[in-house]
Amino acid sequence: MRADQPLLRVAGLSVRFDTPDGEVRAVDCVDLVVDRGECVGLVGESGSGKSQLALALTGLLAANGRATGSVRLEGRELLGLPERELRAVRGRRIATVFQDPMTALAPHLTIGTQLVETIRAHATVDRATARTQARDWLERVRVPDAATRLRQYPHELSGGLRQRAMIAIALAAGPDLLVADEPTTALDVTIQAQVLRLIADLVQARGLTLMLISHDLGVIGALCRRIVVMYAGTVVEDAVATTLFDRPCHPYTRGLLAAVPDLARPDHRAQPIPGHIPNLLAPPSGCRFHPRCPLAVDRCAQEKPALREVEGRRVACHRAEEALA
Q: Which residue ranges make up the site for other proteins (CB under 8 A)?
A: 45-46, 158, 160-161, 188-194, 196-197, 200, 215-219, 221-223, 241-242, 245, 255-264, 266, 269-274, 276-277
Minimum CB separation from other proteins for residue 87, in Å? 33
Radius of gyration of the chain (CA): 21
Distance CA 259, CA 268 (A): 10
Please identify, using beta-carbon distances, which residue of 137 and 231 lies nearer to other proteins: 231
Minimum CB separation from other proteins for residue 217, in Å? 4
Please identify, using beta-carbon distances, which residue of 9 and 38 lies nearer to other proteins: 38
Q: Are 161 and 188 in contact (CB under 8 A)?
A: no
Distance CA 253, CA 34 (A): 21
Q: Are 214 and 43 in contact (CB under 8 A)?
A: yes
Please identify, using beta-carbon distances, which residue of 80 and 274 lies nearer to other proteins: 274
Please identify, using beta-carbon distances, which residue of 57 and 212 lies nearer to other proteins: 212
Please identify, using beta-carbon distances, which residue of 67 and 323 lies nearer to other proteins: 323
Please identify, using beta-carbon distances, which residue of 119 and 161 lies nearer to other proteins: 161
| Angle subtended at Cα 102 by Cα 62 and Cα 208, rounded to the nearest 5 degrees | 75
Minimum CB separation from other proteins for residue 99, in Å? 14
Report the first-to-last Cα separation within the chain, whole angstroms.
43
Please identify, using beta-carbon distances, which residue of 82 and 272 lies nearer to other proteins: 272
Minimum CB separation from other proteins for residue 145, in Å? 12
Minimum CB separation from other proteins for residue 189, in Å? 4
Minimum CB separation from other proteins for residue 165, in Å? 14
Minimum CB separation from other proteins for residue 172, in Å? 23
Please identify, using beta-carbon distances, which residue of 177 and 273 lies nearer to other proteins: 273
Minimum CB separation from other proteins for residue 317, in Å? 17
Distance CA 102, CA 297 (A): 47
